[in-house]
Structure 1
Amino acid sequence: MPDEMALLVADVFEAAGLLRRSGEAIAATEGQTQARWQLLSVVSEEPLTVAQAARRLGIARQGVQRVANDLVREDLAAFRSNPDHRGSPLLTLTPHGHHVLERITVRAAAAHRVLTADIPGEEIARARALLHRVIEQVHRHEADGRTPPG
């Protein structure tokens, strides 16, 4: 009998790769990259430090710092003072950054509608619910300080 969890993990990685390529193509229509789009998106709701944004994205702070600097140079984002920590400024979107993010988001929504045209919304909701359960289990396992058996 196949290890269903191993197969699910492989499928998730395959889907992530395909969706990342699709995202790169969508972001490129606005002269951006997937990494820039992700950072624009994560700081669009509230200004964050680079370290906070990196944690939310699950990637290294150094990589986020490079992308943040690029966004600032292109006037898509700006650093502003952080009242809670003078050494860690907050990254926030500029009006131009909000505009670019909105254009990318509209393109992505159209692509998502095409990709899911033949998939009922209930199936997508069930898949998301399962992924959330797996994510919660992994977080719980990590919080307990356990290493995976094996």
Structure 2
Amino acid sequence: MNETDSPLPPDELGHRLVEVFDLVGPLYRRALRKVEQGEAIEGASVGVRSVLDLLRRQGDMTVPQLSRIQALSRQFVQRMVNDAAARGWVQIVPNPAHQRSSLIRLTEEGRALITAVLDREHTLNRQVGGDLTDAEVRACVRVLREMLRTFDHVDVED
């Protein structure tokens, strides 16, 4: 193991991760703007797109589950679900495990929509340069996952 493969001391790690935060904020905001531009094409807002994609990946979920995973308030997620339901992209069905918290289910129309959105996003993501390797992308995901875990205790309902 060479020097660059050794874990960083906490003080140095803290300073280096500021560089990541400085990039993640602008990246996130620019990516949101690009997704919002697609709203004119598909008609799905960024919030609705997130709900549809999560349902596509995870299957039926409740609003509290959707909000917890996305670190968003239940009220915001409920508005996104209501919007998606009004457009026929999701349906709200009884939850056998919990009478007061219905399940949100992706409809065929919703599945077709999120597939079109993801296809458009994939085309854009293919344009990323830098000759990135699988190991570099895996390392990036690992770093971001650890950073996210640091803030698991933050209450999103405020």
Q: Which residue of 2 aligns with 1:12?
A: 24
TM-score, normalised with respect to structure 2: 0.79
In structure 2, give the amino acid aligned to 1:32: A
Task: Identify the residue that residue 31 of structure 1 maps to in structure 2.
Answer: 43
What TM-score comes out, normalization by structure 1 length? 0.83
Report SS of the residue matched to 1:101: helix
Query: Aligned-pair RMSD on alpha carbons?
Result: 2.2
Q: Secondary structure of 2:42's match?
A: coil
Q: Using the alignment, how far apart are the partners of 1:99 and 1:39 within structure 2?
A: 14
TM-fit CA distance, 1:133: 2.8
2-structure distance, mates of 1:11, 1:118: 16
C-alpha displacement of 1:138: 4.3
Aligned length: 140
Question: Which residue matches 2:34?
Answer: 22
Q: Quick one: which amino acid aligns to residue 98 of structure 1?
A: R
The residue aligned with 2:7 is none
Q: In the alignment, which residue of structure 2 is the partner of 1:41?
A: 53
Runs of 5+ unmatched residues, structure 1: 144-150
Q: Which amino acid aligns with 1:70?
A: D
What is the 5 A alignment of 1:52-63? 52-63=65-76
- Quote the Cα distance in structure 1 between the aligned partners of 2:104 and 2:91: 6
Tell me which residue corresponds to 1:112: 125
Q: Which amino acid aligns with 2:97?
A: D
Equivalent pair of 1:27/1:104 in contact (CA under 8 Å):
no
Aligned to 1:135: 148
Q: What displacement does 1:20 show? A: 1.5
Change (3 A) 1:137 1:59: closer
1:80 and 1:91 in contact (8 A); partners too: yes
Which residue, 126, 135, 149 being the options, matches 2:139? Answer: 126
- Of stretches 13-22 and 120-129 in structure 1, the one that deviates more from structure 2 is 120-129
